[in-house]
Amino acid sequence: AQTVTQSQPEMSVQEAETVTLSCTYDTSESDYYLFWYKQPPSRQMILVIRQEAYKQQNATENRFSVNFQKAAKSFSLKISDSQLGDAAMYFCAYMSYKLSFGAGTTVTVRA
Amino acid sequence: NAGVTQTPKFQVLKTGQSMTLQCAQDMNHNSMYWYRQDPGMGLRLIYYSASEGTTDKGEVPNGYNVSRLNKREFSLRLESAAPSQTSVYFCASKAPSGVTEAFFGQGTRLTVV
């Protein structure tokens, strides 16, 4: 069974600065997909970024980028130029035949 | 464009009562999921359905049953609610391609007293 671990329950970042969220996963599969989702207080789940495991190139979406280390089973999210609207809970997710989530990291942005 | 629709949004149950959470999606997705979200534990998978007519247990299936009525609908039933089932429940659906995102309903906040 695959597990997803987010070791940082909370992270705080100054507006315009950079923050990195950690995620590790455990799997015996070779083909899978990884995601970061954002959940603001509205409870809506919003996809931030996705990564195919067979792609070595790290995914980027505007201010969001990942550092995917397949051998280390690590998938961290970097938020650059943090904005007040980035404040939310962030979930790392793993997908092979089912979609599993980590416990989440709450990000607060200081003005 | 409705996406994934869950009903109800809020519910209070007494211990021992039963209820069904409804979920429907209009995106023609094969895969559907039920999760519960508790503080500090993220989203935990209760049951999932890879296609119409199939269901499988997730991490925390005890106390729940599901029905994949057709391709659109995937319901979650609590036969005898317990206070430990107080949680926020999310339904999600996903297309077969692995890299495509999952779409979530707005969640149901369930309180069992």
| B107 contact A CB<8A | yes
Q: Which A-chain residues 35-74 have CB contacts (< 8 A) with chain B?
A: 35, 43-45, 47, 50, 52
Per the structure block, which two tokens stand in for B94? 């996903």
Tell me: pLDDT of B93 over 60: yes
Per the structure block, which two tokens stand in for A28? 């015996």
- Residue B58 and residue A9: Cβ atoms within 8 Å? no
Tell me: pLDDT of A61 over 60: yes
| A102 contact B CB<8A | yes
The b/e string for A61-81 (b: 16+ C-beta within 10 A; e otherwise) is eeebbbbbeeeebebbbbbee
Q: Which of B42, B94, B101 sits opposite A101 (nearest CB)?
A: B42
Per the structure block, which two tokens stand in for A2? 């695959």
Chain B closest-CA separation from residue A53 CA (Å): 10
Q: What is the pLDDT of residue B58?
A: 93
In this predicted model, which residue has the larger pLDDT, B41 or A81?
A81
Average pLDDT, chain A: 94
Q: What is the pLDDT of residue A4?
A: 94
Q: What is the pLDDT of residue B97?
A: 72
Residue B95's contacts (CB-CB under 8 Å, 6 or more residues apart) are B27, B29, B30, B31
Tokens 């996809």 locate to A47
In this predicted model, which residue has the larger pLDDT, A23 or B101?
A23
A97 CB neighbour count, 10 Å cutoff:
12
Tell me: pLDDT of B98 over 90: no
Name the nearest CA neighbour of B104 among A75, A86, A45, A63: A45
pLDDT tens, B42-82? 899 999 999 998 999 999 999 999 999 899 999 999 999 99
Q: What is the pLDDT of residue A98?
A: 86
* Separation CA B15–CA A59 (nearest Å): 47
Q: What is the pLDDT of residue A1?
A: 57
- Residue A100 and residue B92: Cβ atoms within 8 Å? no
What is the 3 state secondary structure string of chain B? CCCEEEECCEEEECCCCCEEEEEEECCCCCEEEEEEEECCCEEEEEEEECCCCCCEECCCCCCEEEEECCCCEEEEEECCCCHHHCEEEEEEEECCCCCCCEEECCCEEEEEC
- Residue B42 and residue A95: Cβ atoms within 8 Å? no
Residues in chain A: 111
